[in-house]
A and B are shown apart, each in its own frame.
Chain A
């Protein structure tokens, strides 16, 4: 194996030397040709040595359409993915996805925005056939620096060890297995330009925590997950900012960024996939989130919510059959012991809610399909409330619940290929909230995944 890699490297080096194309470099060219031939031969030998035969990457992606006759010499690996390496169990492979959006509010055209919402590179490296590391690196909003709006972040980074084909353990920064979108957030996987609001506002976008988690499936079709992970940090709650109203948990999750880890949480998820096309299940995330904040400052700060607990529950059903794709999801969260904390936030715009919830129902229909392309109109109705109830305060200071936001989204996903999608939709909001960018709008988007 090493010989083949070495030969490849030499060939590549030789090729780069040949690039300047000096007219009198015939000798070098000949040498390169010889090396190429050698590489081809070595590769043939390697392939014979391994019982497993391998299709080129294009085979996996291609559907019915015959591809153009391949002109690629056999020694040239597919860009970004070395198939032969993968077969040997020494693979590092890259994948990625991207999303570009254009939002145009109908009432405030001046607020129209075009954004490179996210560019993501992922990798998967196998140490051996049972142990691998899996990572996802993301840039949001195109440019990330101290003076720019963008963010650069690690979305996932964990080591996975399979204890059997059916279950294993992961350690590291992992996406919380809750809802339908959190773990599968590539733009080709959801309908509409933007992710649904419920799985942004109630279940935060790409919610991740660090810790240890087990996962597995059973022969009867159950998929389970159980983890002990870091908790959000209620000490981070900023009552002067709207972040907590946009997404209560999104404003206090820590994303393993020097996460306060005095308090830990548990997650549990159970899906039943026993009937093909059906996904019915739910998840729970529960734990303390006070993080012993009262003992962090040298003075007697006595943060009044050290014992605060978070409980988030979620249930969903998805049915995909033929051209139809129906989804319903409901989620609800609660935070305990917020009374005294909110008293210290009296009059501030964003107190801590006692409960918040959201749900949506969505139907999509693959109306047209030709070659690899398809056209999928969809309709989604969402209702959610990030401040459905607040802990009681002294008379005269009660915090009224926020109004429930309701959104209709109608649009179409046009899949150029299953992994490249153009999207268009219109979103109708029950009430406008310019501060949170809520208001009727048209959205255009491009998404891809490889």
Chain B
């Protein structure tokens, strides 16, 4: 009997919630500020990527910024996207000046399942990893049961960005 009332109630609640909350993901700028609160400038970097050398597909071109502080270089900031199951996951990665991960943020998740990669506990696994770490699912990065594809593909994406840093950016002044 009571179930009869749950439907309209649920619909009503959904409508109220709809008004109260628009979907709010971090913007790139917000993610940059969150990662580098003291940054003075984010300088876009354009380099030619020898994708074959770092095991990335041809034509791959993530967005990159060198992060400047008042007292010199603070680190690096990347924006890239990988496919989760069938849709893109847009994410940002922040490295400190020594190439260690300080932040991984999911900017946009567009699928019905696997969104658990947004959990802070999972993303925190990447903190302090660098290009010398395996950064591979089921090795030093643990899986989320039920979100395997998203976990795998994000981990691969981060791995690629770390290799990009090590092979290309670390050599630059």
Contacts and interface: CB of A to CB of B under 8 A. Distances in A.
Direct contact of A and B (CB under 8 A): yes
Interface of A: 51-67, 69-70, 74, 81, 83, 86-87, 89, 91, 93-95, 122, 124, 126, 129-130, 132, 134, 158, 160-166, 169-170, 180, 183-184, 189, 212, 214, 217, 219, 221, 223, 228, 263-266, 273-277, 279, 287-288, 318, 320-323, 366, 418, 449
A279 B18 contact: no
B3 A57 contact: no
Interface string B105-121: 00011111101101111
A74 B110 CA distance: 25
B28 interface: yes
A310 to B, nearest CB: 13
B81 A322 contact: no
Interface in B61-114: 61-63, 79-83, 85-88, 90, 108-113
Interface residues of B, number: 67
14 contacts: A52-B90, A53-B62, A62-B56, A65-B55, A66-B56, A70-B59, A86-B87, A161-B14, A164-B24, A165-B109, A166-B118, A212-B7, A274-B119, A418-B152
B37 interface: no
Contacts of A265: 3
Contacts, number: 190
A163 B21 contact: yes
Nearest to A166: B118
A418 B151 CA distance: 12
Given A124-B112, A165-B118, A264-B3, A53 B146 contact: no
Contact of B116 (A87, A126, A223): A223
A183 B81 CA distance: 25
A129 B108 contact: yes
Contacts of B14: 161, 163, 169, 214
Interface in B112-154: 112-113, 115-116, 118-122, 124-125, 136, 138-139, 141-146, 148-149, 152-153
Contact of A126 (B23, B51, B110, B120): B110
The secondary structure that dominates the B interface is mixed
Contact of A86 (B88, B145, B157): B88
Nearest to B156: A63
A52 B144 CA distance: 26
Contacts of A170: 112
Contacts of B121: 221, 273-276
B125 A276 contact: yes
B91 to A, nearest CB: 11
A83 B110 contact: no
A70 B86 contact: no
B145 A59 contact: no
B167 interface: no
